[in-house]
Amino acid sequence: MSNFIKNFFENDNPLSIQKVAASLFALVLMRTFLEFFSNPDPSGFIFGWETTYLHFPLFYFSLFLFFTLILLLLTRKTIDRIWNFLLPSFILILLPPVIDLFSKDNQVTAISYIATEPQNFISLFFKFPQFSTQPGITMGIQVTAFLILSLLGLFILKNTNNIFKSAIGVLWGYLFLFFCAIIPSIVALPYIWQNQIDSAEKIYNSALNSGLIQVTRQALPLSLTTANQQAFFHAIFMAQSFWLLVVIQLFFIFILPNLKYRKMFLENFPYTRIIYWTFIALIGIYLNQKTFVT
């Protein structure tokens, strides 16, 4: 037993990024397959390619990389040790559909993102750990999140002997999960602050239809109903969001820590220039939304 624990938390065997990516992608496909049984759509609509091969994998890759960043920052251990821990831990993502399949509530609540008003954020933040079915959050998701975050905390504690760092790691992990869950709410925030009276969900759907992902309409299957077109737009937008997160996370994991690349980056992109162009980009995004999104 002690050898198993040691190998689980202190395994430094080399792992290639290709092996990690392939293994994680296989786990996601298995999870998607199980999802068909635990949360079937009453209309018979099944996940399209945009969800199966883009949205879901990119979400889990982003989650995996964020946990990698947390463990790198808090433990200072090698990425091989971290990935040898995270990869088997991610087998737990297969649990939610299995738990939901045998849960009496699985026909009531389908897994989805949360679009709600900002005044509900705090109460929603503290509702998640209560192990009760919430809108868009099944019991299986809650149990699995608890298990993965617990393992995350144990890994940090085992490798640092610092309970404070362990608690910080669990909190950061939970914050990222919460952030992912409320991305539609975040999209709706600027319009809510402009005193629009529509609900956050309606604002988000309107944004999808009007301007967020106009370029994806050429790939839209003509046979989809209006409701499923909305699901298509949502999946593409979420995939784009997680792709952006993956790129940023890979930059912080592999590029920035390298002294050569970090020096090159800092020489060519001083902080003042980064702040300046970020400010310009935010203005451009705001003007684009004001112009094209109603």
Residue ranges per structural domain of the chain = 2-257, 259-294
Hey, CA dihedral for 52, 57, 60, 66, is it positive or negative?
negative
pTM for the whole thing? Answer: 0.83
Chain segment 176-223, per-residue pLDDT in tens: 999 999 999 888 887 777 766 678 888 888 877 765 555 445 555 544
Find out whether 122 and 55 touch, Cβ atoms under 8 Å. no
Distance (Å, rounded) from C-alpha 54 to C-alpha 253?
Answer: 22
Residue 161 burial (10 A CB sphere; 0-12, 13-18, 19+): exposed
Name the token pair of 197: 């009276």
Find out whether 81 and 151 touch, Cβ atoms under 8 Å. no
Model pLDDT, residue 284: 75
Distance of CA 75 to the CA centre of its chain: 22
Q: What is the mean pLDDT of the chain?
A: 80
Closest by alpha carbon to 11, among 159, 151, 150?
159
Distance (Å, rounded) from C-alpha 46 to C-alpha 57?
Answer: 16
Chain segment 58-75, per-residue pLDDT in tens: 999 999 999 999 999 999
Residues 6+ positions from 113 with CB-CB distance below 8 Å: 136, 180, 181, 182, 183, 184, 234, 238
Does residue 97 have a pLDDT over 60? Answer: yes
Question: What residue type is assigned to position 232 of the chain?
Answer: F
